[in-house]
Homo-oligomer: A and B are copies of this chain.
């Protein structure tokens, strides 16, 4: 099946305490998003790459591409107000059939093996996501106190999350629901079962300044 990926880069710099959107921050000397796009290009150089960006960041992005001479082909789509709307916009803006992956722009350290497992499994089962085990204890808040949660069988979900195009397109016609924490939960609500594959532990989501420190360190580790 033909392969596409929607790279969703919606974040502002707020949680990073930075004016630069986090997806443009430098990682190993290049904007973070370059690494993310390159990871998919390295997986399959004919993959269709759609980058979903907030409208007010598109000009800066184009400038960065020129400045760094970044020439992996990708289409740009305007993001929406929420992640749900951004993915929806992305799905509307191109007509590809086959397999559609959705990936967080701020996960630059996804491995080729992870991408490959997710796409292969989605090709067979229709929907697949990468997960890693939880190594720490978990608690659920209940009012002023909390209750311990059995971590057995609980997994941390990463991206890319990959689906057959008809499955994800139909699922995203649903109304938004607060239980939609990721694309798999949207597809699941639509009635589809999600297969899990093993992710790579370096594939962290960069959400705060400490994550950026860890990402730089993991990048060096993976390159050495």
Chain A residues near B (Cβ < 8 Å)? 129, 131, 134-142, 144-151, 153-158, 179, 181-182, 184-185, 188, 193-196, 201-202, 205, 207-208, 210, 213-214, 216-218, 221
Contacts and interface: CB of A to CB of B under 8 A. Distances in A.
B138 A154 contact: yes
Nearest to A179: B150
Copies per complex? 2
Contact of A158 (B134, B136, B155, B194): B136
Chain A's interface: helix, strand, loop or mixed, by majority? mixed
B137 A182 contact: yes
Contacts of A213: 217-218, 221
A56 B101 CA distance: 50
B145 A193 contact: yes
Nearest to A136: B156
B218 A214 contact: yes
Contacts of A193: 145
A182 B157 CA distance: 23
B210 A151 contact: no
Nearest to A184: B148
A135 B205 CA distance: 8
22 contacts: A131-B139, A134-B156, A136-B157, A137-B181, A137-B182, A137-B184, A138-B154, A138-B155, A138-B157, A139-B155, A140-B153, A142-B153, A145-B194, A146-B194, A147-B188, A148-B179, A148-B185, A148-B194, A210-B221, A214-B217, A214-B218, A216-B217
